Structure 1
Amino acid sequence: MKQKLLLLICVFTAYTMSLRAQEADPTPKIPFEGIESNWQNGSDRRDSSVFNGKYFIPSIMVDVSYTHSFNNPNDHTVIGSTALARDNEVQLSHLSLGGDLTYNNARARIMLQFGTRSQVVPRNDLSPYRGQYKLADVYRYLSEAYIGYHFNKWYGINIDAGLFMSYVGLNSYYQVENWEYQASFTSDNTPWFFNGVRIQLFVSKYLKIEPWIINGWQSYGMFNKQPGAGFNITWNPSSRFKILTNDYFGTDTGGNSRRKRFHSDNSMLVRYLNKPQSNGISRMAFSLTGDLGFESGGGVHGFKDSDTKGPAQYFLSAMFYNRTWFHKNKFAWTIGGGIMTNPGRYLVLAPTGQASPLPNPNNPTIPEGKFPFDTNPGTSFSGWDCSTNFDWMPNQSLLFRVEYVHRHANVPYFAGQGGVTSPDGYSTTPLPPDWRPDLVKSEDRIIAALLFRL
Structure 2
Amino acid sequence: MRTLSTCRRTLLPGLLAPALLVPCLLTSPARAQTTENRPAPASPDTTAPAKVPFDGMDLTWVNGQNRQRNFPLQLRDADGETVLTGVALLDGYFNYNFARPLDHTQTISAVTGRSGEFSLALASIGIESNYKNIIGRLWLQTGSMLHLVQETDGSVQRGRNTGTGNLKFIREAAAGYHFRPNYGLNLELGIFMSYIGLESYVMQENWSYQRSLVCDFTPFYFQGARAQWFPTRNFRTELWLMNGWQTYNAFNRQPGVGSSNYYRPSENLQLVANFYYGKDSRPTAGSAAQGPAAYPGRARFHHDHSVVYRYYHKPKNQLRGITQAAFSLNNHYGFENGGGGLPRREAYMLGSSLANRLWFAKNRLALTTRVGFVKNPSRYLSFSPSAVGFTDPSSRLTAREATVTFDVMPSDFVTFRLEYLHRRANVPYFAGPGGTTSPSGYADQPLPAGWQPDLRQTENRALVSVNFRL
CA distance in 2 between counterparts of 1:126 and 1:68 reads 30
* 2:190 equivalent in structure 1: 162
Following superposition, the deviation at residue 47 of structure 1 comes to 1.6
2:353 pairs with 1:337 = no
* 2:161 equivalent in structure 1: 133
Following superposition, the deviation at residue 379 of structure 1 comes to 4.3
Whether contact under 8 Å (1:94, 1:113) holds in the other structure is yes
1:10-409 mapped onto 2 (5 Å cutoff): 27-53=49-75, 54-255=82-283, 256-275=295-314, 276=316, 277-300=318-341, 303-304=344-345, 312-354=346-388, 371-372=389-390, 374-375=392-393, 379-409=395-425
**Once superposed, which parts of structure 1, at least 4 consecutive aligned residues long, lie more than 4 Å away?**
24-27, 300-303, 372-375
* 2:78 equivalent in structure 1: none
Following superposition, the deviation at residue 380 of structure 1 comes to 1.4
Whether contact under 8 Å (1:110, 1:145) holds in the other structure is yes
Following superposition, the deviation at residue 260 of structure 1 comes to 0.9
CA distance in 2 between counterparts of 1:174 and 1:160 reads 22
Q: Give the aligned residue type for 1:50.
A: P
Whether contact under 8 Å (1:124, 1:349) holds in the other structure is no
TM-score, normalization: structure 1? 0.86
CA distance in 1 between counterparts of 2:395 and 2:454 reads 19
CA distance in 2 between counterparts of 1:393 and 1:418 reads 37
CA distance in 2 between counterparts of 1:419 and 1:63 reads 26
Deviations 1:102-160 (A, max 9, x none): 33111111111111011110133211111113422221111111111111221111111
* 1:366 equivalent in structure 2: none
Deviations 1:259-294 (A, max 9, x none): 211110100000001114422000000000111111
Given the superposition, is the C-alpha separation of residues 90 and 258 from structure 1 closer, same or farther in structure 2, using an over 3 Å criterion?
closer
2:74 aligned counterpart, secondary structure? coil
Whether contact under 8 Å (2:386, 2:453) holds in the other structure is no
* 1:368 equivalent in structure 2: none
Q: Give the aligned residue type for 2:213.
A: F
Following superposition, the deviation at residue 351 of structure 1 comes to 2.5
Following superposition, the deviation at residue 225 of structure 1 comes to 0.8
Given the superposition, is the C-alpha separation of residues 83 and 373 from structure 1 closer, same or farther in structure 2, using an over 3 Å criterion?
farther
Following superposition, the deviation at residue 432 of structure 1 comes to 2.2
Whether contact under 8 Å (2:174, 2:190) holds in the other structure is yes
The gaps in structure 2 that reach 5 residues or longer are 1-42, 76-81, 284-294
Deviations 1:70-128 (A, max 9, x none): 01000100111001111011101000111202331111111111110111101332111
Q: Give the aligned residue type for 1:313.
A: A
CA distance in 1 between counterparts of 2:331 and 2:352 reads 4
* 1:6 equivalent in structure 2: none
Following superposition, the deviation at residue 430 of structure 1 comes to 2.6
CA distance in 1 between counterparts of 2:47 and 2:430 reads 56
Following superposition, the deviation at residue 302 of structure 1 comes to 5.2
The gaps in structure 1 that reach 5 residues or longer are 1-20, 305-311, 355-370
CA distance in 1 between counterparts of 2:255 and 2:298 reads 13
Q: Give the aligned residue type for 2:378.
A: G
Q: Give the aligned residue type for 1:146.
A: A
1:320 aligned counterpart, secondary structure? strand
2:166 aligned counterpart, secondary structure? helix
1:217 aligned counterpart, secondary structure? coil
Following superposition, the deviation at residue 424 of structure 1 comes to 1.6
Q: Give the aligned residue type for 1:182.
A: Q
Whether contact under 8 Å (1:25, 1:153) holds in the other structure is no
Following superposition, the deviation at residue 388 of structure 1 comes to 0.4
CA distance in 1 between counterparts of 2:334 and 2:442 reads 38
Q: Give the aligned residue type for 1:327.
A: A
CA distance in 2 between counterparts of 1:392 and 1:128 reads 41
Whether contact under 8 Å (1:350, 1:373) holds in the other structure is no
TM-score, normalization: structure 2? 0.84
Following superposition, the deviation at residue 352 of structure 1 comes to 3.9
Whether contact under 8 Å (2:280, 2:297) holds in the other structure is no
Whether contact under 8 Å (2:390, 2:453) holds in the other structure is no
Percent identical: 39
Given the superposition, is the C-alpha separation of residues 374 and 224 from structure 1 closer, same or farther in structure 2, using an over 3 Å criterion?
farther
Deviations 1:360-419 (A, max 9, x none): xxxxxxxxxxx24655xx641111111001000000101000000011122222111111
1:427 aligned counterpart, secondary structure? coil
